[in-house]
Chain A
């Protein structure tokens, strides 16, 4: 699975959009971009995933650049409960033993 690079930490004001970047310059054509987050003392939680088109769900939006070498997770109106470590993961979508390979992630702190 391709390696990802994320900033170690970011701050965001409550109510503002949080934009979390991820670089995955070695991504291959059939690898998806996944985002998970981990709130303190809890297990990771799936947020969203995508291949090349932008995706949106009730939690977030995922913007993938045209060359697919980077992506941005957008939390449109961050709340204090969004404070967590956010992990960007690149992997094949299915089959056999395709585990999640977590990096160090980005610690997002939402400030009141």
Chain B
């Protein structure tokens, strides 16, 4: 149990729809990253938030966007869903940009049909 919670755990959406995934970071952790993990692959970095500002982004299109709130919880929004967006979405929190260890949540399994 890492203290990082994600909701929902599973979700089914239709192609073209929009989805919002949520992450509650571990207490005191001001840095949150989001990853996409396709079946059989390692997690791929989407973006990172530090103190409510986006602080780095991977190779994902603009329809992937996010927010971080004053309590450091975070949201991942995906617009115009495509079938290839079906994946496990993981949230990881750290105690700061210099923190060594990232704590991952259990993930949200998104299926796009």
List the interface of chain A (C-beta within 8 A of B).
41-46, 49, 85, 87, 93-105
Contacts and interface: CB of A to CB of B under 8 A. Distances in A.
Given A46-B102, A46-B103, A99-B56, A87 B42 contact: yes
Contacts of A46: 101-103
Nearest to A42: B106
Contacts of B44: 102
Contact of A99 (B42, B58, B103): B58
A43 B103 CA distance: 8
Interface residues of B, number: 27
B27 interface: no
Nearest to A101: B45
B45 A43 contact: no
Contacts of B90: 43-44
Contact of B102 (A85, A95, A97, A100): A100
A44 B45 contact: no
B46 to A, nearest CB: 9
Contact of B105 (A43, A95, A97, A103): A43
What 7 A-B pairs come out closest when comparing CB atoms? A97-B56, A43-B104, A102-B42, A99-B45, A94-B98, A46-B101, A102-B43
Nearest to B33: A99
Contacts of A98: 56, 97
Of A96, A97, A99, A103, most B-chain CB atoms within 10 Å: A99
A95 B98 contact: yes
B2 interface: yes
A30 B64 CA distance: 32
A97 B92 CA distance: 13
A3 B109 CA distance: 28
Contacts of B100: 49, 93-94
A87 B43 CA distance: 10
7 contacts: A41-B106, A42-B104, A43-B104, A97-B48, A98-B56, A100-B33, A105-B42
